[in-house]
Amino acid sequence: MSVQVYGKNSCQEVLDSQKEILQAFIMEETNSDFLNVLERKHVLVNMISKIEFKKMFQGNHQGVVFEIEDYKTYSLEEFLPTLNLSTNPLLIMLDGITDVHNFGAIIRTCEAGGVSGIIIPKNRSVKLGGVVSKTSSGAIENMNIIEVTNLRNTLEKLKKQGFWNVGTSLDANQDYSEIFVDRPLCVVIGSEGKGMSRLIKESVDFNVKIDMIGKINSLNASVSAGIIIFDILRKKMKK
């Protein structure tokens, strides 16, 4: 299986990651900088006219598309041994996130905020691909994605490894600023409309909320993730 990655930032991240590029598509009279690098790497480059390029590729491609091997995901059993628990790593679990743009934005936020990995369910969840890569501005190349069959069981396994699991809910009693950072953490982000599922809400150690004073009572999932992730990062850096 292969995926197409498009846009300058995403393609540059692919180059920087040293990932194998199966072939590249460049719009004629554009992206000479990419062309030079690709030729040095002996990558097959397809030069395509502007008209044909726009027919082949939709969206904001910026005249460059790479075809690469499908993104690798990890099982929890593969991923956990790579963590140094003494550094109190932060994991983000996504419950019910199905929008590719939201997912891409969350990946970008996680990579910038020092998150060690993102846990997603194998079923009823957004899938990796070109749109996610584009929205993440290529941050997906530097982020571990862990696919699991059951989120609730995963929370139990993390707990046994010393993680504290924190949910996010509008009706929680505790504020997000009360999250402690002196232990491994897994923070669960639910979908915008429904939030976390009932089972997950009941399975975490405690839930936190982000207080709001406007008429809209919920935030975009990637914005919520950003507020919490960077507050945790701020407290870690203070220590």
Degrees (nearest 5) of the Cα angle 142, 145, 178? 90
Reply yes or no on whether the pLDDT at 239 is more than 80. no
Say if domain 76-238 classifies as CATH 3.40.1280.10: yes
In the chain, domain spans: 2-69, 76-238
pLDDT at residue 107 in the model: 95
- Which H or E run contains 130? helix 130-135
| CA dist list (Å): 67 to 19, 23, 126, 128 | 11, 5, 20, 14
Handedness of CA 191, 140, 105, 179 (dihedral sign): positive
Structure tokens at 175: 């504020």
CB-CB neighbours of 190 under 10 Å: 23
* pLDDT, average across residues 14-43: 90
pLDDT at residue 160 in the model: 96
CATH superfamily of the domain spanning 2-69? Ribosomal protein L30/S12 (3.30.1330.30)
CB 35 within 8 A of CB 63: no
Reply yes or no on whether the pLDDT at 147 is more than 80. yes
Reply yes or no on whether the pLDDT at 141 is more than 90. no
- Of 6-20, 103-117, 200-214, least confident by mean pLDDT is 6-20
**Over the chain, what is the mean pLDDT?**
90
Question: Which residue has better confidence, 106 or 58?
Answer: 106
Angle between the 8-16 and 32-40 helix axes, to the nearest 10 degrees?
Answer: 20
pTM: 0.85
- Three-state DSSP string of 113-174: CCCCEEEEECCCCCCCCHHHHHHCCCHHHHCCEEEECCHHHHHHHHHHCCCEEEEECCCCCE
